[in-house]
Amino acid sequence: MDAYEKIRCARKAGRPTARDYIQSIFTGFMELHGDRTFGDDHAIVGGVAWLGDIPVTVIGIEKGHNLDERVYHNFGCVLPEGYRKAQRLMKEAEKFHRPVICFVDTQGASCGSGAERRGAGQAIADNLYELMTLKTPVISIMAGEGGSGGALALAVADDVWMLENAYYSVVSPEACASILFKDSSRVAEAAEHLKMFADDLYKLNIVERVISEPQDFGEEGWDVEPFMSSLKMSLVGRVGELMNQPVQKLIMERYEKYRRIGRYKEIDVHNV
């Protein structure tokens, strides 16, 4: 696939959404609503569930499949209250040392005057801040679109996994083409240069695992079951490993992992 086809694939309406993953991988999901301050953002679906015999908190950005659902879920564009709701659920998970699994699929944080008034930037910042030292394992799965800070706010994690044809980018390839190349038709080229696809991000140590997609992934009638059960097996295994680590080691390694990204040996506390 070339870059343009990959972008289309990442955005394809038939791809599983957060609710599909929750239904296929977890059992006994009980949804929890609201940020306890302002409202309930429908772009975030979250709650408690069982991953095999492990109680977990699962949080996903939901896009919906058809137009009605998409409107209801605000096209997967999360409002500040959505990020705060996610954080509330993460803190609740931390209290009971329950692992957190996130599914990320968003073109970006919700863009509008309401989001700005309610502190879109502050809400994202606060999630990055709290997630870094959350005292419980966190795994985030980039399932489709990974739109910049709006995606990162649910993806400061011990492990970030990425579907083969998902993308995760600092800026949308469209915006990059029009801002830097002054030519909105050069989207595919921008996408290539941004290194936003799974294999590149794996090489850059930004994602820990690439999940391969079957040929007909997200097409009408594709075989959901084997894909989901294999993903479930991977999650069970990794969550088990992470839960066996002392919590301070877990957090230290999480911090060190991000600390190493774009690290210069000259820039160091001891090099002054």
Partner 1 sequence: MVIEEYLASTKEVTCEKCKEPIVQGALAKNYFVCPKCGKYNKIPARARVELITDDGSFKELWQEVVTGNPIDFPEYEEKSTKARDTSHENEGVICGTAKIKGTECCIYVMEPKFMMGSMGTIVGDKIAALFEYAIEHGLPVVGYAASGGARMQEGMLSLMQMAKVSGAIKLHNDAGLFYMVCVTDPTTGGVTASFAMLGDVIIGEPGALVGFAGKRVIEQVTGETLPAGFQSAEFQLENGFLDDIVRRNDQRDYIGAMLKIHSSDNESDMPRMRFHELHLKGHETDYKNFASNAFARLKEIIHN
Q: Which residues bind partner 1 (CB under 8 A)?
A: 109, 111-113, 115-122, 124-126, 128-133, 148-149, 152-153, 156, 168-171, 176, 179-180, 193-196, 201, 204, 206, 248, 251-252, 254-255, 258-259, 261-264, 266-272
- The answer to whether 71 and 29 are in contact (CB under 8 A) is no
Q: How far is the CB of 45 from partner 1 (least distance, A)?
A: 22
Q: In this complex, which beta carbon is closest to partner 1, that of residue 232 or of residue 257?
A: 257
Spell 211-247 as b/e; 16+ CB within 10 A means b: bebeeebbeeeeeeeebbeebbebbeebbeebeeeee
Q: Which is nearer to partner 1, 16 or 76 (CB)?
A: 76
Q: Which of 48, 143 has the CB closer to partner 1?
A: 143
Q: DSSP assignment, residue 220?
A: T
To partner 1, the closest distance from the beta carbon of 109 in angstroms equals: 7
The per-residue b/e assignment along 131-140, b for 16 or more CB within 10 angstroms, e otherwise, is beebebbbbb
Tell me the closest approach of the beta carbon of residue 67 to partner 1, in angstroms.
18
- Which residue's entry shows tokens 């599983």? 16
> What is the SS3 assignment for 235?
helix
Query: What is the residue type of 218?
Result: G
Helix (H) or strand (E) holding 186: none
Compute the least distance from the CB of residue 58 to partner 1, in Å: 21
Q: Rounded CA gap, 77 and 108, in Å?
A: 6
Q: Which is nearer to partner 1, 59 or 109 (CB)?
A: 109
For the record, the structure tokens of 211 come out as 């999940």
- Closest distance of CB 31 from partner 1, Å: 27
Instruction: Quickly list DSSP for 14-79.
Output: TS--HHHHHHHH-EEEEE----SSS---TTEEEEEEEETTEEEEEEEE---SSHHHHHHTGGG---
Q: How far is the CB of 187 from partner 1 (least distance, A)?
A: 14
Q: How far is the CB of 53 from partner 1 (least distance, A)?
A: 29
Nearer to partner 1, 56 or 153 (CB): 153
Closest C-alpha among 106, 7, 101 to residue 56: 101
